[in-house]
């Protein structure tokens, strides 16, 4: 059986995010959905940043936090495909690296939220976000949307919601 997007608990907004690097540009994407799989909002974009992939993923997380704050969501689950970052988050108090310091700063950004957690998901469970990243890379632009998400991802969203 193919792995699919996992629904969050009722009342929790799940934000799937990721980022990739191509040359001296990074592309990121995020998709926020409710417990029924309904797309609440999303963003895909390209930035002129020459960074390593883990730092690009942190940028995508910051974009996700900013989006959640602007929507006044209070219960969040951040899901992404990067085991090393999940480990950094889970060991944030013991991590004295530059990455650990940045993660401590990100935790401070999480203050307004009632609850949040970070989970790992295999890439196959993040099809909508992956599609958006490829779209942003191909178009070399940024796109924000709410419930009126692009028709290009409609089938992927429906497949996740009914699985």
Tell me the pLDDT tens digit for each residue of 138-152: 777 677 777 666 666
Q: What is the CATH number of the domain that holds 43?
A: 3.30.420.10
Closest CA to 40 of 161, 163, 162: 161
Residue 18 lies in a domain: yes
d(CA 37, CA 69): 20
**Three-state secondary-structure class, residue 112:** coil
Note the pTM of the prediction, 2 decimals: 0.77
Residue 2 lies in a domain: no
pLDDT of residue 1: 39
Residue 81 lies in a domain: yes
The domain in which residue 125 lies consists of: 13-162
pLDDT of residue 127: 65
Residue 8 lies in a domain: no
Residue 3 lies in a domain: no
13 pLDDT band, cuts 50/70/90, is very high
How many domains are contained in the chain?
Answer: 1
**What does the DSSP 8-state code read for residue 92?**
T
Average pLDDT, the chain: 76
Query: For residue range 36-86, what is the model confidence (pLDDT) as tens digits?
Result: 888 888 888 888 888 888 888 888 888 888 888 888 888 888 887 777 777
Residue 106 lies in a domain: yes
């Amino acid at each position: 059986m193919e792995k699919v997007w996992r629904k969050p608990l009722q009342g929790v907004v799940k934000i799937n995010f990721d980022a990739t690097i191509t040359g001296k540009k990074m592309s990121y994407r995020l998709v926020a959905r409710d417990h029924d799989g309904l797309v609440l909002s999303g963003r895909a974009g390209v930035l002129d940043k020459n960074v390593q992939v883990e730092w690009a993923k942190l940028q995508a997380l910051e974009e996700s936090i900013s989006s959640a704050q602007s929507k006044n969501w209070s219960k969040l689950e951040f899901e992404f495909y990067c085991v090393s970052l999940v480990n950094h988050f889970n060991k944030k108090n013991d991590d004295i690296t530059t990455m650990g310091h940045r993660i401590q700063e990100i935790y401070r950004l999480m203050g307004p939220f009632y609850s949040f957690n970070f989970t790992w998901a295999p890439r196959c469970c993040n099809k909508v976000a992956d599609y958006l990243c490829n779209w942003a890379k191909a178009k070399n632009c940024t796109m924000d949307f709410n419930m009126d998400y692009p028709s290009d991802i409609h089938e992927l969203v429906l497949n996740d919601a009914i699985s």
